[in-house]
Structures are given as C-alpha cells and as structure tokens.
Amino acid sequence: MAVELEGTVHEGQKYTVRLTNNSKAGAELLLVGWVPKQAHGVPGPQSVSVAPSAPPIEIMGVVPKFADARLMTIVASLEAGQSAQLELLENGVSVASEGISETTTWQLVVDTVGS
C-alpha cells in the first residue's frame, strides 16, 4: 500500500476526487475523510464503490476551515491486479493525478487560501 503526501488543499474551496477504474474485473473503493484538529468537528467520511469498467466516479465537497481540519485523506482501495486513475481537483483545477495499481492513500495538508 502506497501512502503519499500530495501537497495542500485550501479551506472553503470546492474539491472533486475522481477515480476511473481501468480494470475489466474487480470492484474498487474510494474513500475521502478529514483529520480534525483537537476538539474540532469536520465532515464525516464519504465512500463509494466502483464497478469494473464503470464511468469515472466522483466525490465532491468543500474543504473545511483551516481552524478545524489538519489533513484531507483519500484512499483508493484496489483488488490485486487492478489499475485505476486517481485525480484531485480544487475549483476545477487538477492538484494531483496518478495512475495507480495498488491500494493508495493520499494525504493533503489543509491550509488557508493564499498560502
């Protein structure tokens, strides 16, 4: 399993996490969650299962406030031998994109706008 620090996302900005299943067999799972700062609330995790050769699926939302969230965590869980394209967009602009062939976790630091 690969764990990578991919950069930053900015509070109050719209995000889209897109997973494209390139495999002909096997399901994949996409999960997006937030690591809160101590004693602060963040949105609950979102998850969706992706069927083989399905159109790309997306999880969308708004990045929580910098005062509340420490990290954004994205997990793309793949079965053995599967492949997919994982992409994160902020306000429609690609922040990170990668072809993956194993279960992958991305972590992004939540920051203020303009940082």
Query: In 1-115, at which residue ranges do the beta strands (DSSP E only) sit?
Result: 2-10, 14-21, 28-36, 46-50, 57-62, 69-77, 84-90, 93-100, 104-111
Alpha-carbon distance of 84 to 53, in angstroms, equals 10
pLDDT (tens digit per residue) in 84-106? 899 999 999 999 999 998 889 99
pLDDT (tens digit per residue) in 56-91? 889 999 999 999 999 999 999 988 888 889 999 999
Domains contained in the chain, CATH given: 2-111 (2.60.40)
Answer yes or no: are the C-beta atoms of 105 and 17 closer than 8 Å: no
- What distance lies between CA 39 and its chain's CA centroid? 23
The model's pTM is: 0.90
What is the end-to-end Cα distance of the chain in Å, rounded?
A: 30
The type of residue at 51 is A
pLDDT (tens digit per residue) in 11-49? 999 999 999 888 777 678 899 999 999 989 999 999 998
